[in-house]
Each structure stands twice: as structure tokens, then as C-alpha cells.
Amino acid sequence: MAQNIYDRPDFLEGYSRLPRSVEGLDGANEWPAMRALLPELRGSRVLDLGCGFGWFCRWAHLQGAASVRGIDVSARMLARAVAESPAEVTYQQADLETVELPVAAYDLAYSSLALHYVEDVGRLFRQIHLALAPGGSFVFSTEHPIFMAPSKPGWVTDPDGRTTWPLDRYLVEGIRKTHWFVDGVVKHHRVIGTTFTRLVQAGFTVTALQEFAPRPEQIAARPELAVEVERPMFLLMRARR
Ligand SMILES: C[S@@+](CC[C@H](N)C(=O)[O-])C[C@H]1O[C@@H](n2cnc3c(N)ncnc32)[C@H](O)[C@@H]1O
């Protein structure tokens, strides 16, 4: 059963102030890299897993998708998604740990930064594989395991002035409880090999894997992003059914 932290008002208040919550896709540093992984959407049936405020769902609709459905466990995230979306975009409240998806109903399954909240990702990948039509694509981002693994995630400045990310417990998979707006946010750490293996076991062919780094022009526009090249924050993958 999911924690559903996004329905906690104090968490949601903080999350709602992030650039990605205010500006949408353009406020997400990894969006250009995600977009480059996507197939042509015109005429496609699109599923967004952990859709949040529905920014990607609306974008997919504008690209000419034949249908767009967003799924999220948070009633509060979905309430804003519904309020800001045209009626053709549909939403469903469901937990990705237990969701049952219709068979061969989608051409693209998309998920942005939601899978690290899911414990049984193998079950979810099998559901997504079933839900895609043959040749369909699964494109997702998740927090990178190097970002998620440490017992004390956060930048450290060593005596020489070097900024480093204190990686420990990388090979110890399982729950990580962190502070993000509130204490006790639960995430599920997996090494890259496990994510890759679960995809292959579900029947997918992995066709892209990227460890996101901000591009030079992004760092030029926002110099505070320069530190992000010290370790990857996001893992981006594409797989084909
Ligand atoms: C970081 S937000 C990302 C939202 C959106 N995909 C985006 O990129 O802007 C993570 C989203 O995943 C949802 N989520 C987390 N755990 C979930 C679960 N077990 N089932 C469904 N949705 C979940 C949260 O409610 C939240 O809306």
C-alpha cells in the first residue's frame, strides 16, 4: 500500500512551489531529455503513470494523441489535474502497487518521477507490458539510485572545498526514508541492474538508458545547476514491448 505523501497538505504546499509545479514541463530540467525519448504521439493512446498535476497529459493531448489517461494515487494532485485539463483527458485514482490495467489498450506508457515510490516494480512492469499494444513504448524517469541510496543524502564539502555526494548503501536495496518538505517520505531504492532486469523479465526490450545531466545551456541559464554534474539525479529509460 502506497504512502500517498502528496495528499498531505504540508507536503503538497511545498511541492506546489517547485518550478515544475508552477511552470509545468518547462520547469523540469530533465524534460528536454525525456521529450527526446518519446515516439510520435499523433493518433496514439497514451497512459501516464503517476501523472501528478497532469502537465504531460495535457501536452500529449496537444500533440494530437487519440486518447490520454492519467493515473495517480493522490486525490489532491488529481483534483488540480482534472480542473486544468480538457474533458478529453481522463484521470483515474489508483495505486501503482495494485493497479490493474486494460490489455493492449495503449501505444505509450509514460511515467515521470513516480516509480521510486513503488515497491513492487516487477508487478507494475508486467502490468504495463500487458497494457501496451505490440510495438508500444514505455518511457520513464525515476530518481537515480546514486541520488537515492545514501543514508544521509545531501551535498558535503570536504576540507579541500570539493563538493561531493556521500554515497553509501548503494547495494542495499529497499526503503529509504528522507526529509523532503516533511519528514518520513518513503522511497524504494533499486540499483540500475534491478530496474533493467525487472523490465527484461516483464518482456520488454530496453532501447535507451540515460543518466540525466543538465546541458551547458541549462547551467548557463541557472548556474546553481552546475553542481548537478557531480552525480546523476535522474535515470531515464525507454523500453519497447
Ligand atoms: C514527483 S511527482 C511527479 C508528477 C508528474 N509525473 C510530474 O512529473 O510532474 C510523483 C507523483 O507520483 C504519484 N505517486 C506516488 N506514488 C504513487 C503510487 N503508488 N501510485 C500512483 N501514484 C503515485 C504522486 O501522487 C505524485 O503525483
Per-residue pLDDT band at 176 (split at 50, 70, 90): very high
37: cell is 525519448
Would you place residue 1 in the very low, low, confident or very high pLDDT band (cuts 50, 70, 90)?
Answer: confident
121: CB partners within 8 A, 6+ apart: 115, 188, 190, 195, 198
Confidence check: pLDDT of 188 > 90:
yes
Over the chain, what is the mean pLDDT?
A: 97
Mutate to test the pocket of ligand 1, among 59, 117, 118, 185 (most ligand atoms within 8 A of CB): 117
pLDDT digits (tens, 9 = 90+) for 76-85: 999 999 999 9
Query: Which atom of ligand 1 approaches the CA of 99 most closely?
Result: 20
Which residues line the pocket of ligand 1, CB cutoff 6 A? Answer: 2, 6, 20, 50-52, 55, 72-74, 77, 95-97, 112-114, 117-118
Mutual orientation of helices 192-202 and 121-131 as an angle, nearest 10°? 40
Task: List, as one string, the DSSP characters of 161-216.
Answer: S-EE-----TT--EEEEEEESEEEEEEEE--HHHHHHHHHHHT-EEEEEEE----H
Instruction: Output the pLDDT for position 44.
Output: 98
- Residue 240: the pLDDT is 98
Which mutation among 113, 124, 185 tests ligand 1's pocket best, with the greatest number of atoms within 8 A of CB? 113
227 in helix, strand or coil?
Answer: helix
pLDDT of residue 14: 97
Nearest alpha carbon to residue 29 among 214, 235, 227 = 214
Each residue's pLDDT tens digit, 104-131: 999 999 999 999 999 999 999 999 999 9
Q: 50 φ, ψ to 5°?
A: 80, 50
Q: Please write the tens of the pLDDT for every residue from 19-31.
A: 999 999 999 999 9
User: Rounded to 5 degrees, what are φ and ψ at 199?
Assistant: -65, -45
